[in-house]
Amino acid sequence: MSTEQSFPRVHQIRFAYSSLEDRIAMHLTMVAGGGHIAWLSRRALMSLTQHLNHVLKESHPAGEGGMAHDTIMALEHIGARAELAAQRDHERSLETGDEDPGAEPPIEWTHHLVTEAQVEAQDSHIVLALLGQPRPGEPEQRMRAEPIGGLALTRVHAHEVLRLMVANAHEAGWRIDQPIEWLNVRRDGAPTGT
């Protein structure tokens, strides 16, 4: 994201596969209210997963200026999954019935086809920015890509977003041309065989 561009901030993200569209929908609940559904084609999803994997590996402190080894990434991923589980358990134990005002589900959703995604490491975060074209639109009509939403993810949350994208691709029956080997581990570190 070398040129400055403003992106609406995302509060919450949820993934779902649509067999009718044969696309993955990223439901983005925005900080300012409202929601966007960012539709990912197979090609866009595959490119985004590879780019996110690259940035995670390149920005890992153990990489010492290079790419972190898959073993290091697998261990970090196991730790990230455990940290997220602990966070969820803690949040459940604190539930008082008061909802976070920014978490209200949007009443109206706008739809965009993701045509570009930018991923980069900034300080201790992985920044993910999505650009695309509003839908519906004319078939094959190319418009200038507009910002859909941006997220500043901790490494833990970047791992989870990557895992969810790969899991939804698997659910959709999409073959990942360049599998991310370090994602295919059980909690004990052993390969899953998938």
Alpha-carbon distance 76 to 55, whole Å? 14
Which candidate, 129, 118, 130, 120, places its Cα nearest to that of 58?
A: 120
Helices 155-172, 70-94: crossing angle, 10 deg rounding: 100
Query: In the CATH scheme, what architecture does the domain 10-63+101-178 have?
Result: 2-Layer Sandwich (3.30)
pLDDT in the model for residue 175: 86
CA triple 60-65-69, angle to 5 deg: 50
Kind plus residue range of the DSSP H or E element containing 89 = helix 70-94
Per domain, the residue ranges of the chain are 10-63+101-178
Residue pair 44/117 in contact (Cβ under 8 Å)? The answer is yes
> pLDDT of the chain along its 194 residues, tens only?
446 778 989 999 999 999 999 999 999 999 988 899 999 999 999 999 999 999 999 988 877 777 878 888 889 898 988 998 888 877 777 775 555 544 567 888 999 999 999 999 998 999 999 999 988 766 666 778 899 999 999 999 999 999 999 999 999 999 887 888 888 754 444 445 44
pLDDT for res 102: 46
Chain centroid to CA 107? 23
pLDDT recorded at residue 107? 81
Write down the pTM of the prediction: 0.82
Query: Residues with Cβ < 8 Å from 42, sequence gap 6 or more?
Result: 22, 169, 174
Give me the pLDDT at residue 54, please: 93
